[in-house]
Amino acid sequence: MTEAAEEFHFSPRPNRASEIAWHHWSKEAFDEARSTGRPILLSISAVWCHWCHVMDETTYSHPSVIEIINRDYVPVRVDNDVRPDINQRYNMGGWPTTAFLTASGDILTGATYLPPDQMASALVRVAGYYRGNQAEIASRVLEARKRAASGVARSAGELEPRLVDEILEAVKNAYDPEYGGFGGAPKFPQTDAIVLLLEQSAIRADDDLRRMAVHTLEKMTGGGTYDHVEGGFFRYSTTQDWSVPHFEKMLEDHAGLVHALSLAGMTEELDRTAGYLDKVLRDPRSGLYAGSQDADEHYYSMDAEERSSAAAPYVDRRVYTSWNAALAVAYLDAGQDAEKTLESLFKHAYRKGEGMSHAEGVGGQLADQAWSMLAAVRAHQRGLGAGWLEVARDLAEHLEASYGDPELGGYLDHAGGDELGRLGERIKPLAENSIAAMALIELDVLAGDPESPYRERARRALESVAALPRSYGLMAAVFARALDRLGHAIKVTTKNHELALAARAAHPYAVIDPSGDARAVVCVGTICLAPVSTPGAVKDAIKEVTQARAAGRG
């Protein structure tokens, strides 16, 4: 194996992509581009990406392409999973991304997969244009930077309660009553939309919403998007009816799917899915989960006997903090054991006052902090120890200090430090700010203190992205889930596991304070009811306080 092949993950099949003089995303690469007067060729790939492998085997293995790149470009290769902040700013519509950049990291043009002849033509054309049109390029770059500078301000807006209704309506309008899911082909799981339907079904006592979610999950688990031999979900379906999948399996997707299956009460499917995750992706020594398993259409067409003697698709054993934390949250909510995963994850990724790293040797990003904070809050609520609450509070302070926007509120997608190229642009992602808000809301409920800073931070996080949901449609489902919690979270104080389970079953936004006794005390706002001792009484108490809040007495 060449040195480049060890540094960069190329297709597992024969290819010559390592003959290209790839650079990491680094100051050295940008300095070389400036000193040589060459443009940068940025390739954003992913371990699990089928067409990235195809591009390695074809385009990046073509002798002419290799020659032109090495002669006229500074080639930079980035893994999407390792550097989501770079992908956020440079993705050209999918993977692989092929982006042509100036020496300062501004985009000239780009595409996704390019076959060898198109790539060779583009390489020659872009390099020639770059050499001969510096003044025009500088003008275009200046205009693009002006537009980007106002992006953070444009994402902010008012928190209107009807936003939850509007987003829920967008989900319902996109729902496919025949095949389940949302929209046509290609069809992705859209797990936050499924979870929103299930949560709102409980909040509104609307069985139709639940039927939409369950129908979607049944069609997915019953169709080709589910692996009926080894378990687990493929990434998406190329067809509307879930019959022809794209075969990679992603830990990121499974966290949301585990949560959805749990809320839907689909225990058999949940157990099979967890079985795949624990057998294939989980490291039995650490309890941590690998990031993905490659697509392999031939392998997944085999039956169980054929697979037993075949080499399984490659598993990316790198551990990504945000995805492991998200799965831990889903497992905790599903009543599954996640203690070893959490202990191992925080042992390796967490440093007090410094937050969470993203992966081994890679600094943390907003998603790592937000999901880990939520995981720590939930671990405390599930009775795994009071130390988890202190960890969650520490992460909240790190989040505010390193990612927070003191002027507009909310959180930026990375903490700074690496400002190369477009990484200097300020971006507040809707999903990660929504997850951070959920965790902060639960911290506020647990604090029970009007002087607690957490509720105001949660509100500002949601306000900082509140202009985005109307253009995001159903993709804003996670925002709706967070915003609804801001107005409807309740507190149940009990150390009784059975009563805690009853509370969570009765109300999706129940926050459990395990510091109580064997009874349960249900509170909302300033209203607290007398202690109760049975699951039925917990449900009745929750119904009473929520009705009182609706009547304006909380």
Asked whether the beta carbons of 500 and 492 are under 8 A apart, the reply is yes
Query: Mind listing the pLDDT tens digit for each residue in 446-466?
Result: 998 889 999 999 999 999 999
Token pair for residue 288? Answer: 């941590």
pLDDT for position 419 = 87
Token pair for residue 396? Answer: 């909240």
Which residue has 């993977």 as its token pair? 95
Q: Which residues face 528 on adjacent strands?
A: 523
Instruction: Give the largest CA-CA distance in the chain.
Output: 79
Instruction: Fill in the amino acid letter for 433.
Output: N
Query: Mind listing the pLDDT tens digit for each residue in 83-106?
Result: 999 999 999 999 999 999 999 999
Q: What is each CA distance from 16 to 24, 25, 70, 349, in whole angstroms? A: 18, 21, 13, 35
Token pair for residue 109? Answer: 């043009």
Query: Mind listing the pLDDT tens digit for each residue in 131-174?
Result: 999 888 888 888 777 777 666 778 999 999 899 999 999 999 99
pLDDT over 60 at 6, yes or no: no
Span(s) in the chain for CATH 3.40.30.10:
3-149
3 state DSSP class of 62:
coil
- Work out the angle at residue 469's Cα, subtended by the Cα atoms of residues 333 and 366, and round it to the nearest 5 degrees: 55
Quick one: which of 224, 229, 249, 243 has its CA closest to 302? Answer: 229
Give yes or no for a cis peptide into 186 (omega within 30° of 0): yes
Query: Mind listing the pLDDT tens digit for each residue in 334-347?
Result: 999 999 999 999 99
Span(s) in the chain for CATH 1.50.10.20:
180-318
Kindly state the percentage of the chain with pLDDT values over 90. Answer: 89
Token pair for residue 231? Answer: 């378990």
pLDDT over 60 at 406, yes or no: yes
Query: Mind listing the pLDDT tens digit for each residue in 231-284?
Result: 999 999 999 999 999 999 999 999 999 999 999 999 999 999 999 999 999 999
Q: Which residues face 348 on adjacent strands?
A: none
pLDDT for position 1 = 41
Specify the DSSP class assigned to residue 279: I
Give yes or no for a cis peptide into 284 (omega within 30° of 0): no
Asked whether the beta carbons of 74 and 41 are under 8 A apart, the reply is yes
pLDDT for position 152 = 74
Residues 6+ apart with CB under 8 A from 81: 46, 47, 291, 292, 316, 318, 320, 359
- First vs last C-alpha separation in the chain: 66
Which residue has 């809301």 as its token pair? 441
- For the segment(s) 3-149, the CATH number from 1.10.357.10, 3.90.1300.10, 3.40.30.10, 3.30.230.10 is 3.40.30.10
pLDDT over 60 at 553, yes or no: no
pLDDT over 60 at 3, yes or no: no
pLDDT for position 332 = 96
Please give the average per-residue pLDDT across 385-407, as a whole number: 96
Which DSSP string corresponds to 421-478?
GGGGS----HHHHHHHHHHHHHHHHHHT-TT-SHHHHHHHHHHTTTTSHHHHGGGGHH
Asked whether the beta carbons of 60 and 114 are under 8 A apart, the reply is no
Specify the DSSP class assigned to residue 244: S
Asked whether the beta carbons of 212 and 175 are under 8 A apart, the reply is yes
Asked whether the beta carbons of 514 and 500 are under 8 A apart, the reply is yes
> What are phi and psi for residue 521, nearest 5 degrees?
-115, 120
Which residue has 């009460």 as its token pair? 265
CATH 1.10.287.3510 fits 180-318, yes or no: no
Query: Mind listing the pLDDT tens digit for each residue in 478-517?
Result: 999 999 999 999 999 999 999 999 999 999 999 999 998 9
pLDDT for position 416 = 77
Q: What share of the chain is helix, strand, coil (3-state, %, to 5)?
A: 55, 10, 35
Token pair for residue 421? Answer: 């190229």
Asked whether the beta carbons of 40 and 103 are under 8 A apart, the reply is yes
d(CA 341, CA 289): 8
Query: Mind listing the pLDDT tens digit for each residue in 302-320?
Result: 999 999 999 999 999 999 9
- Work out the angle at residue 429's Cα, subtended by the Cα atoms of residues 452 and 112, and round it to the nearest 5 degrees: 165
pLDDT over 70 at 552, yes or no: no
